[in-house]
């Protein structure tokens, strides 16, 4: 089995180098490593991540990291199948990380999402991995973040799919270049979440099941009005139907691409790396660790002063060094 021969740091670096060279076949082994918690594997994972850090790449990873989130039953899987087809028709390689929310701390998880996404199993340029939400309460697993960064070095598109509305898209926003929230017609709660500020304003809002006709049109109108009243003019609202014949998929692909073209990806990712580093550090060292840095605000300032090319792990090391020296 895969763990029979434990990858050493050299193996991690080699996998990282393959991803850097856009070798998508390195993805499964890379994920096995990034998800592992043994000390040895963590070292190898660090070596892997160093190979795909901005410093090693000479800039940001080229892949477009897209967060797709929405309540259960909104039609995410069908939508992702349609998006996948469109991207593949366009020659883009695609990685999908499906984050399953059902895992409980004590128990395991049933990861059934990939079955609902249609793709050719022999197509090497498609990679789908299901992960359970992980041990960290209320957050994407550390491994998911690391995986998204690593895969963005090799794949043209990296999708992170999560379930839920409210907390979910905030977490995804810390990883993704573009956040798309998927809602189905008639979901008034999403509208309420938007208006009340429980939900952050997404970059792209997708209304599924456009084939439902009037109710879909009305939902689109209501959502657009709510966004305007919140003063957000930048969010694209796209209505799609994944049923044959599909509608709106090309428009959605274009909207996602347009968002990325119009936003400062470097700035967004830098902000995300710093936020993630602070979260990781706090998770590891607790409030006590934060006090050692002079509090949260001081820690943020410290991070802001670091080299923008440092990856999350290097930023955590910087914080730890500062705390140790204090």
Partner 1 sequence: MMRTYAGHSTAKASNELYRRNLAKGQTGLSVAFDLPTQTGYDPDDELARGEVGKVGVPISHRGDMAALMDGIPLDEMNTSMTINATAAWLLALYVVAAEDQGVSQQALQGTTQNDIIKEFLARGTYAFPPAASMRLIADMIAYTVEHVPKWNPINICSYHLQEAGATPVQEIAYAMSNAIAVLDAARERVQAAHSEGGAQSNGKQEADAQELMEQVFGRISFFVNAGVRFVEEHAKLRAMSVLWEELGRERYGVREPRRLRFRYGVQVNSLGLIEAQPENNVQRIVLEALAVTLGRDARARAIQLPAWNEALGLPRPWDQQWSLRIQQVLAYETDLLEYPDIFEGSIVMDGLVSELLDGARAEMAVVAEHGGAVEAVAYMKGALVDSHRERIRRIESGEQVVVGQNRYSESEDSPLTADAEGGILVVDPAVEAEQVAALRQWRSQRDQAAVEQALDELAAAAADESASQNLMVATIAAARAGATTGEWAGTLRKVFGSYRAPTGVGEAAAAPADADLDELRGQVARLQEKLGRRPKILVGKPGLDGHSNGAEQIAVRARDAGMDVVYEGIRLTPAQIAASALQEGVHVIGLSILSGSHRELIPAVIDALRQAGVQAPVIVGGIIPEQDVAALREAGVAAVYTPKDFDITRIMQDIVELLGTDGRVPVAGTGASVNGSA
Q: Distance between CA 325 and CA 11 in Å, rounded?
A: 33
Rank residues 127 and 281 by Cβ distance to partner 1 and give the closer one.
127
Nearest approach, Cβ of residue 43 and partner 1 (Å): 12
Q: Single out the residue of 23, 37, 89, 284 in contact with partner 1 (rule: CB under 8 A).
A: 37
Q: Which of 89, 110, 215, 251 forms a contact with partner 1 (CB under 8 A)? A: 110
Residue whose CB is less far from partner 1, 111 or 258: 111
- In the bound complex, what is the minimum distance in angstroms from residue 123's beta carbon to partner 1? 9
Question: Looking at the chain, how many residues does it have?
Answer: 326
Distances (CA, A) of 143 to 7, 45, 72, 75: 17, 10, 23, 26
Q: Work out how close the CB of 243 gets to partner 1 at its nearest, in angstroms, rounded to a whole number.
A: 7
Closest CB 139 distance from partner 1, rounded Å: 17
The CA-based diameter of the chain, rounded to the nearest angstrom, is: 64
Q: Cα(71)–Cα(11) distance, rounded to whole angstroms? A: 39
Kindly write out the interface string for residues 45-84 of this chain, putting x where it contacts partner 1 by CB under 8 A and - elsewhere: ----------------------------------------
CB atoms within 10 A of CB 274: 21
Nearest distance from residue 41's CB to partner 1, in Å?
Answer: 5
Q: Where are the alpha helices (DSSP H) in 187-305?
A: 188-196, 214-229, 249-262, 265-292, 296-304
What CA–CA distance (Å, rounded) separates 252 from 256? 6
Separation CA 192–CA 234 (nearest Å): 19
Stretch that binds partner 1, among 31-39, 194-202, 260-268, 311-319 (CB under 8 A): 31-39
Residues at the interface with partner 1 (CB under 8 A): 1-4, 27-29, 31-32, 35-38, 41, 102-104, 106-112, 114-116, 118, 121-122, 127-130, 132, 243-244
């Amino acid at each position: 089995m895969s763990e029979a021969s434990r990858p050493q740091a050299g193996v991690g670096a080699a996998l990282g180098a393959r991803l850097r060279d856009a070798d998508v076949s390195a993805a499964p082994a890379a994920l096995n490593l990034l998800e592992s918690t043994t000390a040895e594997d963590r070292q190898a994972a660090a070596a892997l991540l160093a190979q795909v850090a901005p410093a090693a790449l000479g800039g940001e990873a080229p892949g477009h990291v897209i967060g797709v989130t929405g309540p259960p039953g909104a039609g995410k899987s069908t939508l992702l199948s349609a998006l996948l087809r469109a991207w593949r028709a366009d020659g883009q390689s695609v990685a999908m990380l499906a984050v399953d929310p059902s895992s409980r701390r004590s128990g395991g998880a049933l990861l059934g999402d990939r079955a609902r996404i249609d793709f050719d199993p022999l197509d090497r340029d498609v990679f789908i991995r299901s992960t359970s939400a992980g041990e960290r309460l209320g957050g994407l697993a550390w491994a998911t973040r690391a995986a998204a960064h690593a895969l963005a070095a090799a794949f043209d598109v990296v999708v992170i799919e999560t379930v839920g509305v409210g907390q979910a898209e905030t977490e995804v926003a810390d990883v993704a270049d573009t956040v798309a929230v998927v809602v189905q017609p008639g979901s008034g709660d999403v509208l309420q979440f938007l208006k009340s500020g429980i939900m952050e304003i997404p970059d792209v809002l997708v209304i599924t099941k456009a084939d439902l006709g009037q109710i879909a049109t009305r939902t689109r109108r209501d959502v657009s009005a709510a966004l305007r009243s919140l003063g957000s003019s930048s969010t694209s609202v796209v209505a799609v139907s994944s049923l044959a014949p599909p509608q709106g998929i090309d428009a959605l692909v274009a909207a996602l691409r347009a968002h990325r073209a119009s936003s400062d990806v470097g700035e967004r990712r830098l902000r995300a790396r710093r936020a993630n580093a602070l979260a990781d550090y706090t998770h590891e060292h607790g409030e006590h660790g934060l006090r050692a840095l002079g509090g949260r605000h001081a820690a943020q300032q410290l991070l802001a002063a670091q080299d923008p090319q440092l990856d999350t792990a290097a930023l955590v090391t910087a914080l730890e060094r500062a705390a140790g020296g204090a």
